[in-house]
Amino acid sequence: MNKRILGKNGLEVSALGLGCMGLSYGYGPATDKLDAIKLIRRAFELGVTFFDTAEAYGPFLNEEVVGEALAPFRQQVVIATKFGFEKGLVGLGMNSKPEHIREYVDEALKRLRTDVIDLLYQHRVDPDVPIEDVAGTVKDLIEAGKVKHFGMSEAGAATIRKAHAVQPVAALQSEYSLWWRVPEKEIIPTLEELGIGFVPFSPLGKGFLTGAINENTTFDKTDFRNVVPRFSEDNRKANQTIVEVLGNIADSKGVTRAQIAIAWLLAQKPWIVPIPGTTKISRLEENMAAADVVLSTQELTNIESVIGDITVQGARYPQQMQDRVGK
């Protein structure tokens, strides 16, 4: 798989990474540990060198699985993880106090079976801790050799600028896809100006853009899509238009909807690295094959002319989660 560079300090990763969250958190019961390890190692076989986890995915369970899975080839991969919640529990609120960050890193290093974290993100901006203090703490951890690069997740442009002035930000992780294009307004221009990479999560619209979900789909009771307005039954029905359009485009290209959606992201900027996640090896192989799908200028224009006129129905987060992003 081709490589891409995140940030100005040479963080080289595969053009597609693997978002590991769903193996332990968010989309129903955790995947069997051995199956999760098998999937992560299959991703490595397919050329993936960029793996994304966080303290909150479990909590802590996902970091342990990722650490065990990648231990045999640790020096050949880039591990990204995230801090920022009290005791790793989203429901307890945010905690980016310097002492918490330092304690978290020491524990995460053990779970990840490594002596350094390649990319350390602040998971969400903490309104109670100045971002300069957060960036300064990560800078100290970089100088101590425990962290290599600093990242942010779902941060707003002004906060990114403040943090970047203290410690260069290598990457911003936020949602971006054919059905969530808000980052194009302010975030992407800011990242381009500052030389910061972009790591889009949910590049397949939390599974919706694959065509595998419709208004009749039933999610596991622990699946967080149950509380996402965009995934209400009415909105799933209303949003089928974009799935149908993607299907027509994919059929004409001889690929899948998922591959078109991922290839479109890769075509936007050379410093964009999507991290699709899955629990199924067949889907993993399908997603990673998107790295070889090249969209011509005319094809991108055609996609824009059709998709650009579709208004997606429903908010991407419930209000309490929406209040935590873009700050």
Assign 19 a pLDDT band (cuts: 50, 70, 90). very high
Residue 323 pLDDT > 90 = no
In sequence order, the 6+-apart residues with CB closer than 8 A to the CB of 225 are 27, 206, 219, 231
Q: Mind listing the pLDDT tens digit for each residue in 52-82? A: 999 999 999 999 999 999 999 999 999 999 9
The per-residue pLDDT of the chain, averaged, comes to: 97
Provide the pLDDT for residue 241. Answer: 94
Provide the pLDDT for residue 44. Answer: 98
Q: Which residue has the tokens 């949003």?
A: 239
Provide the pLDDT for residue 326. Answer: 87
In sequence order, the 6+-apart residues with CB closer than 8 A to the CB of 279 are 22, 23, 27, 31, 35, 36, 39
Assign 272 a pLDDT band (cuts: 50, 70, 90). very high
Which tokens go with 47?
């050329």
Contacts 24+ apart (CB under 8 A), 110-114: 111/60, 111/63, 111/64, 111/67, 112/53, 112/63, 112/66, 112/67, 112/70, 112/79, 112/81, 113/67, 113/68, 113/70, 113/71, 113/74, 114/67, 114/74, 114/79
Active-site residue list: 57
Assign 321 a pLDDT band (cuts: 50, 70, 90). confident
Asked whether the beta carbons of 129 and 158 are under 8 A apart, the reply is no
Whole-angstrom distance, CA of residue 117 vs CA of residue 114? 7
Q: Where are the beta strands (DSSP E) in 185-280?
A: 197-201
Whole-angstrom distance, CA of residue 97 vs CA of residue 99? 6
Which tokens go with 145?
């050799």
Provide the pLDDT for residue 324. Answer: 86
Residue 200: asked if its preceding bond is cis (omega within 30°), the reply is no
Residue 322 pLDDT > 90 = no
Q: Mind listing the pLDDT tens digit for each residue in 185-196? A: 999 999 999 999
Percent of the residues in the chain that have a pLDDT greater than 70, as a whole number: 100
- Domain regions of the chain by residue span: 3-322
Q: Which residue has the tokens 């059929």?
A: 251
Q: What is the CATH number of domain 3-322?
A: 3.20.20.100
